[in-house]
């Protein structure tokens, strides 16, 4: 199953980085640092870092990646005018959905936040492995 998102053709010249992390909550900060080093100078850096954080935390809270011995992977793909931020986890029986959490809720707005910041988002996978991706397009005339 997947959430519909049109993914542009990624050119062969795209820069792509991938790093695996232990499935521990403190690794969200490490994943943000990883993304910061790769995306420095991007016009939407703050939005992309927030998306990395939300996707990682969702992975740790809602999938097997957050269980003892779990792991997740962050992949950053950067090409002219766009950046894709993807988090792959160890899957869960439920599907990632945009939830409308009450204003006083302490959590539950992660994918809503991502959907508002990114040009698009989507996912694919099952109860064994899942990848959630947020796509960011730069403003016309700017490189991501």
Task: Check residue 33 and report its DSSP letter.
Answer: H
Between the CA of residue 7 and those of 16, 59, 141, what are the distances in Å? 15, 21, 20
Whether 102 is covered by a domain: the verdict is no
Domain that holds residue 67: 15-96+107-137
Task: Check residue 65 and report its DSSP letter.
Answer: G
Whether 143 is covered by a domain: the verdict is no
Sign of the alpha-carbon dihedral angle for 32, 85, 88, 50: positive
DSSP β-ladder status, 71-79 and 82-89: antiparallel
Over the stretch 12-49, which tens digit does the pLDDT of each residue have? 888 999 999 999 999 999 999 999 999 998 889 999 99
Over the stretch 52-101, which tens digit does the pLDDT of each residue have? 999 999 999 999 999 999 999 999 999 888 999 999 999 998 887 776 65
pLDDT at residue 130, as a whole number: 95
Give the count of domains, the chain: 1
Integer-rounded Cα radius of gyration of the chain: 14
Whether 3 is covered by a domain: the verdict is no
């Amino acid at each position: 199953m997947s959430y519909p998102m049109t993914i542009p053709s990624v050119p062969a010249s795209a820069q792509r980085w991938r790093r695996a992390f232990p499935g521990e909550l403190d690794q969200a900060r490490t994943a943000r640092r990883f993304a910061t080093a790769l995306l420095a100078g991007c016009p939407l850096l703050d939005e992309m870092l927030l998306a990395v954080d939300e996707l990682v935390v969702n992975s740790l809270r809602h999938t097997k990646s957050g269980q003892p011995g779990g792991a997740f992977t962050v992949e950053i793909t950067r090409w002219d005018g766009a950046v894709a931020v993807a988090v792959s986890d160890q899957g869960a029986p439920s599907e990632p959905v945009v939830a409308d959490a009450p204003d006083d809720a302490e959590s539950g707005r992660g994918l809503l936040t991502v959907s508002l910041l990114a040009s698009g988002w989507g996912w694919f996978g099952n109860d064994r492995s899942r990848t959630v991706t947020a796509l960011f397009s730069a403003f016309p005339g700017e490189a991501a």
